[in-house]
Structure 1
Amino acid sequence: MAATSMAAALAASLPAPQAAPTPSAPTYEAIPASMAKVIDIEAEIPITSVQLDAMVVSKIIKHAKEAPGSSAHGLLLGLDLDGTFEVSNSFPLPHHSNDEDDKSVKSVARYQGSMLRSLKEVQADDSVIGFYQGMALGSFFNQTLVDTQAIHQEKLRHGGIIIVHDISQTARGNASFRAFRLTRSFLDAYKRNNFSATSLIDHRLTFSAILEEVPLKIRTNALVSSFLSTLSEASVPPAAQTNPALATSSAAIPPSYSGLNLGTGNTPRNLELIVEALDNYRTEEGNLAYLQRQIAREKAKADAYVQKRKEENASRVAAGLAPLPEEDVSRLFKIPPEPSRLESLLLLGRIDAYGKSLEETASTGLVKMYAAKGNTGN
């Protein structure tokens, strides 16, 4: 009885339920005339440049520094406005040791969907416009990058972009960011899954025609500028605040010996990568040559069989006999399909990227070495 009266008292103290308001019909405002030419609803304005927010730059650099090796990759968020991809946000994707595992792929997809829903709930940019990839010494020519970008160019507005961040350049104090997308000729051959010699000639494909670079610029804001200014200011220890003499000496900028660094620390590793890529290319070319010889042997057998059958039919007709029926040569002889040369193209692109990185590193080191030699007076 007491429990019943207590429940009744609690129920009476609660506010009376109110009728749910009738939801109003959504209203849409017309796009202002001044913005009609800027907002590309039908995706008709071609993309000519990429604008990267400074906060995105810092997030990518931080992720690439913390990720093991060159496994840093993630999604880019933003919008396309008046022919420019404006990248306003990004988030990293988890890395798994075995990317081909179905469980790994599904877990990455779930994580990506969860992040996009969370960003949408807080009214942040949740439109995917591409992805970024951290790499070292120009090794971004690989099958995974091509496959991912091919999917993006098929499903995203304007095809999406790839932001490539060179970790080795950042380690030397030069933040390197470049934007790429697949060319139309390469994408057409990729959709047909045909990278034979004839297809490469028809599409005029070389390793330099796989990706096309898009001009990229970085937009800074007041928050990032303030943060960078605090990093450049000299800090005063607490002990020096009570002693002006210590404050004067401690506030002085310490000497920098960065000028003595020739910047050739990555040269041995770069040479190793070039040799490794050349060995892989030689192996791939050997495999292609073996397959070509095998195809030529099978075709020669098929042609010899067809020629022999024609001679037999000619002799039978001359003797007044019925010719033998023609047989399907493809069923009698297993002629292998022409091998794909995509891996060779990617290896050539990787060798070219390694060579350009080595040229940049070596040229800087040579200039510093000549300067150091001149200063010694020898």
Structure 2
Amino acid sequence: MTEEQSRISEPFSVEINASVALKLAQIGQKHYPGTSSGPLYGFDDQEERILNISHIINFPNQHTSGDDVFNTKSSNAKFQADFQTKLNDSKIGVKLLGWFMTATKGKQNRQTVVESMLRLQKKMIEEQKSTLPVIFVIYDPSKSTDSLLSLQVLKLSDAFVKTWNSEARFAARNLIDNRLTYRNIFEEVPSKIRNSNLTDLKIQELDVNSEYGNELELTSNYLKITTQTSEQLIDAIDNFNHNLGNFNYFQRSLSRELTKINQWKLRAKQEHLDHLKTDPTAEEPELDWKEHYKLPQVPSKYEHVVSGGLLSSLCNNVSTTGSVEHAKTTGIQKSLNL
């Protein structure tokens, strides 16, 4: 393990320019209740272990659901490379730090996201000798209806990276040894928003509605996001059950092969006992079942872990949204003396 790889797991923090937070809110509002994603650019301080996010831009031709919203197709890769070139040509020496997504929390549990972060991490270590992890920012625009800035900075957990880099990878025993489950694929990173004088001036220009009392207002946004989340939940359940079916098939195949091996050993042992009756000096042969049988390959639990994380987050989103709407309807019912 190189020095850079060993320092990746050390604590670090993230600073987000206020202009980036405002642009995230703008992108989220534009695509809500759909999702949008794009690259993060900024600066890194290797000594102080601080990442500063200074620029973002969303990928063009975004889809509203599924893995297509964040993918590794060549057009997206070229788009983010061209944008970084423009920034560098403008004497802004930023680097690619990771990606963002505007969606309800938990939607980052996608194989496309995980594998893109791993590839970028490897590239940064090899080419830039970076000791800071790749980050992923997720902004939840649905919370803006409650006047909240729901912004979370994540990195791949040390348990996940250790499992990925190990020889056994996602074998069941290796997951247990590294304490990796669908709950800890990602780790949250401490972050803060840095304001600037220009941003202060921009905020002062905003027309803030001073009227209050709309906390109990029912909106169609929650219905849209709940409907979309429910559809994605059905797809996630189907994918989870498909992976579970593969494991069940492996267990049945393994059980059949082990039964055959045990029967073969018993027959070989009985044949040796029968042979001893005619030749008491006969030596017992070595029973190497591997020459006659081959056990089925143990399936990787990688897809199962990621799909489990997505399934868990979608269930939490449906539960949380339902609780909020239930509280609103209860408040309205009481206010109307129904």
| Interval of TM-score (by shorter of Structure 1 and Structure 2) | 0.7 to 0.9
Asked if the contact 2:104–2:317 (Cα under 8 Å) also holds between the matched residues in 1, the reply is no
| 258 and 270 in structure 1: CA distance in 2 versus 1, 3 angstrom threshold | farther
Alpha-carbon spacing, 1:122–1:376, altered in 2? closer, same or farther (3 Å): same
Quote the Cα distance in structure 1 between the aligned partners of 2:8 and 2:176: 30
Tell me which of 71, 90, 97 is aligned to 1:122: 90
Match of 2:191 in 1: 216
How big is the shift at 1:74? 1.7
Which letter does structure 1 place at the counterpart of 2:84? L
For 1:202 and 1:308, how far apart are their aligned partners in 2?
38
Q: 1:313: how far off?
A: 3.8
What do residues 307-354 of structure 1 show as CA deviations (whole Å, max 9, x unaligned)? Answer: 423433444355338669758644533422112222222232223212
Q: Aligned to 1:162, what secondary structure does the other structure show?
A: strand
Gaps of 5+ in 1: 1-39, 234-252
1:298 aligned to 257, 273, 280, which one? Answer: 257
Q: How much identity, in percent, do the aligned residues show?
A: 24
Q: Which has the higher contact order (CA 8 A, sep 6+)?
A: 2
Cα deviations across residues 131-164 of structure 1 (Å, max 9, x unaligned)? Answer: 2223346322111111112223334322221111
Q: For the Cα contact (< 8 Å) 1:71–1:95, is it kept in 2?
A: no
Q: Equivalent residue of 1:159, what SS?
A: coil
Aligned pair 1:364/2:324, yes or no? yes
User: In structure 2, what residue type is equivalent to 1:219?
Assistant: R
Residue 159 of structure 2 aligns to a residue whose secondary structure is: helix
Q: 1:124 to 1:215 in 2, by over 3 A?
A: same
Query: By how many angstroms is 1:124 displaced?
Result: 0.7
Q: 1:321-360, aligned counterparts within 5 Å?
A: 329-330=289-290, 332-360=292-320
User: Deviation digits for residues 151-201 of structure 1, max 9, x if unmatched?
Assistant: 233343222211112243346654422111112221122223622221222
Distance 1:262 1:336, change over 3 A: same
Alignment RMSD: 3.6
Q: Over residues 14-37 of structure 1, what are the superposed CA-to-partner deviations in whole Å (9 max), with x where a residue is unaligned?
A: xxxxxxxxxxxxxxxxxxxxxxxx
Which residue number in structure 1 is paired with residue 52 of structure 2? 86
Aligned length: 316
SS in 2 for 1:72: strand
When normalised by structure 2's length, the TM-score is 0.77
In our comparison, the structure showing a higher alpha carbon Rg is 1
1:73–1:170: structure 2 CA closer, same or farther, 3 Å change rule?
farther
Amino acid of the structure 2 residue aligned with 1:49: S
Letter aligned with residue 50 of structure 1: V
Aligned to 1:138: 106
Change (3 A) 1:74 1:67: farther
Structure-to-structure mapping, 1:42-53, within 5 angstroms: 46-53=10-17
CA distance in 1, matches of 2:291, 2:144: 58
Closer/same/farther in 2, CA of residues 45 and 144 from structure 1, 3 Å limit:
closer
Alignment match, 1:178? 152
- Please, which moves more after superposition, 270-279 or 331-340? 270-279
The whole-number CA distance in structure 2 between the counterparts of 1:185 and 1:159 is: 14
TM-score w.r.t. the length of structure 1 is 0.70
CA contact (8 A) 2:138 2:151 kept: yes
The 5 A counterparts of 1:1-378 are 46-64=10-28, 69-80=34-45, 82-93=48-59, 105-136=73-104, 138-156=106-124, 157=130, 158-170=132-144, 174-192=148-166, 194-232=169-207, 258-262=214-218, 264-265=222-223, 266-316=225-275, 319-320=278-279, 329-330=289-290, 332-378=292-338
What letter corresponds to residue 261 of structure 1 in structure 2? E
| Separation of aligned partners in 1, 2:157 and 2:286 | 45
Tell me the amino acid that sits aligned with residue 178 of structure 1.
Q
